[in-house]
Amino acid sequence: MTQPLDIMVETPSQTAGPYVHIGCIPTFAGVEGVYPEDLGLSPIEDDAQGEVITIVGSIYDGTGWAMRDAMFESWQADAAGVYPGQDGADPKVTGFCRFAADKDTGEFTLRTIKPGSVKGRNGQVFAPHISIWIVARGINIGLNTRIYFDDEDNSADPLLARIEQRPRVDTLIAKKTGDGTYRFDIRLQGEGETVFLDL
């Protein structure tokens, strides 16, 4: 026998189901009047510092179908690479956004500012990125991934460096489609499967 570890166990996840929008973005779901507005409508306020960008994409299931019912959350640093809540953070950046796939087309849109690179432990520096969390019916535990940008230098990013199969790095990199616009598609399964994270 030994001493007990006294560590508790995380509550198991369950799928967010098809009606996650009722709980998280009720006005979007047609449940109006309970809250003044949905949480996380925008990760920035007017006058946030940095380049305003728009990221558009779809999320595809294993058959290649663009899912209509997924919900996303994003979390990011400000233009200087400082997270909201940290000293010196841009007060106009909340950093958090909730958005959903369009119910007719499956396309999602995230309008934000491009974050700066972020300092980690031991001198690590992460290239500009936005953290994404995905829930939907059929997803039993929320999926984490990141959006990097193809017009940034991602060559020294410690997370991307850990991806052994180098072509898969591309799945985390948004492609510039115009002035301040990017495309980022997510594939849950099969060819071009997005790298999902456990960290």
Partner 1 sequence: MTDTAALMPRRREVHPDPYYTDYKTSITRSPSLPLLSMESTPSEETGPRFGHNMLGALDNNLISNYSQGKALAVGERIRVHGRVLDELGRPVPHTLVEIWQANAGGRYRHIKDTYFAPLDPNFGGCGRTITDENGHYEFMTIRPGAYPWPNRANDWRPMHIHFSIFGHAFGQRLISQMYFQGDPLIDLCPIAATVRDRSQLDRLVAPLDMQNSRGMDYLAYKFDIVLRGRRQTMFENKPEGM
Q: Which of residues 142-181 bind partner 1 (CB under 8 A)?
A: 142-144, 146, 158-159, 162-163
Residue 33 near partner 1 by CB under 8 A: yes
* List 1, 3, 4, 36, residue binding partner 1 (CB under 8 A): 36
Q: Of 60 and 177, which has the nearer Cβ to partner 1?
A: 60
Residue 85 near partner 1 by CB under 8 A: yes
Distances in Å between the Cα of 159 and the Cα atoms of 2, 76, 190 are 37, 16, 22
Q: Of 33 and 178, which has the nearer Cβ to partner 1?
A: 33
| Maximum CA extent, the chain | 64
Q: Of 29 and 56, which has the nearer Cβ to partner 1?
A: 29
Q: Of 104 and 179, which has the nearer Cβ to partner 1?
A: 104
Residue 24, token pair as written in the block: 């998280």
Rounded CA-CA distance 131/33 in Å is 30
User: SS3 of 160, please?
Assistant: helix
The amino acid that residue 8 corresponds to is: M
